[in-house]
Structure 1
Amino acid sequence: MPAERMPPTPEAEDLIALTREIVGKELAPRAADAEEAGAFPREVFRTLGRAGLLGLPYPEDAGGGGQPYEVYLQVLEEIAAVWASVAVGVSVHSLACFAPHAFGSAELRGRLPDLLGGELLGGYALSEAQAGSDAAALATRAVRDGDGYRITGTKMWITHGGEADFYVLFARTSDDGGRGISCFLIDGDQPGLTFGPPERKMGLTGSTTAQLHFDDAPVPAGRRIGAEGQGFPIALAALDSGRLGIAACATGLAQGALDHAVAYAAERTQFGRPIIEHQGLGFLLADMAAAVESARATYLEAARRRDRGLPYARQASVAKLVATDAAMRVTTDAVQVLGGYGYTRDFPVERYMREAKVMQIFEGTNQIQRMVIARHLARSVRS
């Protein structure tokens, strides 16, 4: 994949090069078979963790890599260009670590070196059957019980469900709408927690997605993240960062599809010359390249604002919208470039196309991103 992204430091450039090496040696040979079998690649996450790639955007004194978000997202892009399931998993793990880092008590922050150290994997338990885009409508309840809580309810669409070592869980502690939600850190072997079977998905089949069932699960009050009722703002703050992660994953997925399409078009001949030299196909590839580079620019701009401490919520929504729509378009066009071969599983572009679709859905559907952007525009006019 082209490395024309101007990493901010030599250290960052070396880190991206290391990621590319690991991806080429450890991930690329395994991706197609694991996706075909629907096998969760737990050992791959351990490999990435031992290389220091699971905690990149967090401070070194917390067990992280101390890298700016701009660099972390470029690492995600490198992974996604070869294996989107793993890149999404890294993004979700980073999302799960956000709440204890940013809002946790001293005791919970003391656990961060374990959470970020590379051996553990996190999940993010927000969505429910009737609370997807409308996260404030969640029904899972955490009821006070002495010096702790009893949690009952079901979470849906949870990445790493049944595989994660810990989950950041959002549950209702009062009936006061969005102000009645609290956040908790839950161990994967929590008593009273069971899991549904993995969802049978269109793509990202190597990434396990399952329900979480809480049946009167006892959770100490010390596992609450932030104040009681603070959960909804915590969730929204985390999702701004998570949307950037998905934007980077979508950009990498699109870049991978473009790379395969260009390589095929340069080798395949029709009418006496490589098909890339035919204007109709050359223009299609040019549009694909423009879409990838535009997507990359949007997520890097949002990440640089985040790294400078500037507001970036609108830019994160723009990046998620632009990058995931681009991924859907580029992967579809990659199948077209390969023609009949693109429609077979002998080439990875059909898998990339299936994987691109969900990028437009999770971490806030692209319709939600348009609502967020429009609201920011309305506020700018009123101010």
Structure 2
Amino acid sequence: MFELTEDQQAVVEMVRDFATTAIAPHAAEWDETKHFPVDVLREAGTLGMGGIYVREEFGGSGLSRTDAALIFEELSKADPTIAAYISIHNMVVWMIDAFGNDEQRAQWVPQLASMEALGSYCLTEPGAGSDAAALSTKAVLDGDSYVLNGTKQFISGAGVSSVYVVMARTADTGSQGITAIVVPADAPGLSFGPNEKKMGWNAQPTRQVIFEDVRVAVANRLGEEGSGFGIAMKGLNGGRVNMGACSLGGGQAALEKSIAYLKSRSAFGGPLINQQSLLFDIADMDTELETARTLILRPRTLWTVAPGHREVVRHGEARRHGRRFQRGEQSHPVARRLRLLVGIRPREDCQGPARPPDPGRQQRNHEAHRWTARRRA
């Protein structure tokens, strides 16, 4: 059994208090009105959630990946949508901190770590959703600048973020021809498509990011030219563990709401919680979630840290576990059982334990498509 240290317990309690008071009471309204709570994100930044596993030198919190998983689980209990965006934002900040030079880190990390500026990760394209090596957005070198042309699809935070970490093709050499470039939101030629129509996750904007002769200084390149694919994959390895924690938090919230509902609803001469067959469902839900939590919180087998703060997957284990739990395999059946337990009435007004409709459905397809991940594994 994984036991929290005193510091970790303090972090969890702090995040739980914040999520319970600042996020949970508004989650249904934000989803219904498609409101992206930038002010709440900045408040999260003041608590250190904008650069959780980023070095402290430029404003990061300097915590571990295990600490991050604990944080994302608590945030996701309140709202998986907001938790998922904060996870993506942290991936952006980590990429700049891990692969940027000192000038780049000093320029971008402080404002991102505080969440005064928000970040988006631009990898997915209309024709290359999960095949990162096949992306077609181009960055052509022109003097001391790159000129970008292309379209990125399903980008969380698009249109609101100030910083976009973009994976673009600088050479026709497959995965070796991809370069990571930081694009500021005010770059001429940068525009955005309409907000996507989604089944959930409406409290964060998801739009196309369109590049039309966008000129960016070579100084905005992260790492060497052609190293972008490795940067992207390292970012996704950690992001999948984060999304696993988000799925876990959503599933845990579904379990707790199920228990509360069964205690309050009476039928067959007493509370439904007294029905043994329903208790079997509760036991199965709890077992699935505890299994997921155990594997996500195995810090010594998930990550090792190489020089330069660049985290490396150990024996592929983090990649496999991250893919499994990122795609919501544990929270999805828990949410499905929840819908069966509470019936249709709470769904009619989108209130009560049936909201969100499914905390795991979106996570199952986030951070790379599940079948593509299986093939690569």
TM-score bucket of the superposed structures, by smaller chain:
over 0.9
For residue 136 of structure 1, what is the amino acid of its counterpart?
A: A
SS in 2 for 1:216: strand
For residue 133 of structure 2, what is the amino acid of its counterpart?
A: A
Correspondence 1:334 to 2:332: no
Match of 2:25 among 2, 24, 29: 29
Within a 5 Å distance, the mapping from 1:44-63 to structure 2 comes to 44-63=40-59
Structure 1 alignment gaps of length 5 or more: 374-383
Residues 155-177 of structure 1: per-residue CA shift (max 9 Å, x gap): 00100011111011000001111
Mean CA deviation greater in 354-363 or 169-178: 354-363
For residues 199 and 348 of structure 1, the distance between their equivalents in structure 2, rounded to whole angstroms, comes to 26
Deviation, structure 1 residue 148: 1.1
Alpha carbons 1:341, 1:347 under 8 Å: kept: no
Match of 1:127 among 111, 118, 124: 124
Match of 2:11 among 15, 22, 36: 15
Matched with 1:379 is none
For residue 156 of structure 1, what is the amino acid of its counterpart?
A: Q
Correspondence 1:109 to 2:105: yes
Deviation, structure 1 residue 5: 5.8
Mean CA deviation greater in 298-307 or 320-329: 298-307
Matched with 1:369 is 373
Matched with 1:381 is none
TM-score by length of 2: 0.93
Alpha carbons 2:139, 2:147 under 8 Å: kept: yes
For residues 203 and 359 of structure 2, the distance between their equivalents in structure 1, rounded to whole angstroms, comes to 11
Correspondence 1:212 to 2:209: yes
Alpha carbons 1:243, 1:317 under 8 Å: kept: no
SS in 2 for 1:353: coil
Matched with 2:309 is none
For residues 45 and 73 of structure 1, the distance between their equivalents in structure 2, rounded to whole angstroms, comes to 18
Residues 319-370 of structure 1: per-residue CA shift (max 9 Å, x gap): 4314511111111111111112343334344433344211111101222332
Residues 67-100 of structure 1: per-residue CA shift (max 9 Å, x gap): 1111111111101011111100110001111221
- Give the aligned length: 369
Mean CA deviation greater in 59-68 or 144-153: 59-68
Residues 157-205 of structure 1: per-residue CA shift (max 9 Å, x gap): 1000111110110000011111111001111222110011110101101
Matched with 1:377 is none
For residues 318 and 92 of structure 2, the distance between their equivalents in structure 1, rounded to whole angstroms, comes to 21
For residue 262 of structure 1, what is the amino acid of its counterpart?
A: I
SS in 2 for 1:123: strand
Structure 2 alignment gaps of length 5 or more: 307-311
Matched with 1:172 is 169
Matched with 1:95 is 91
Match of 1:311 among 307, 310, 313: 313
CA pair 164-289 structure 1, distance change in 2 beyond 3 A:
same
For residue 59 of structure 2, what is the amino acid of its counterpart?
A: G
Alpha carbons 1:159, 1:207 under 8 Å: kept: yes
Matched with 1:276 is 273
Match of 2:362 among 342, 358, 368: 358
For residues 133 and 348 of structure 2, the distance between their equivalents in structure 1, rounded to whole angstroms, comes to 42
Alpha carbons 2:245, 2:325 under 8 Å: kept: no
CA pair 211-342 structure 1, distance change in 2 beyond 3 A:
same
Alpha carbons 2:155, 2:206 under 8 Å: kept: yes
Identity of aligned residues (%): 32
Mean CA deviation greater in 245-254 or 358-367: 358-367
Match of 1:147 among 125, 144, 147: 144
Residues 218-248 of structure 1: per-residue CA shift (max 9 Å, x gap): 1000000010111111101110000011001
For residues 320 and 40 of structure 2, the distance between their equivalents in structure 1, rounded to whole angstroms, comes to 30
Alpha carbons 1:240, 1:317 under 8 Å: kept: no
For residues 305 and 280 of structure 2, the distance between their equivalents in structure 1, rounded to whole angstroms, comes to 38
Matched with 1:380 is none
Match of 1:347 among 328, 347, 351: 351
Match of 1:238 among 219, 223, 235: 235
TM-score by length of 1: 0.92
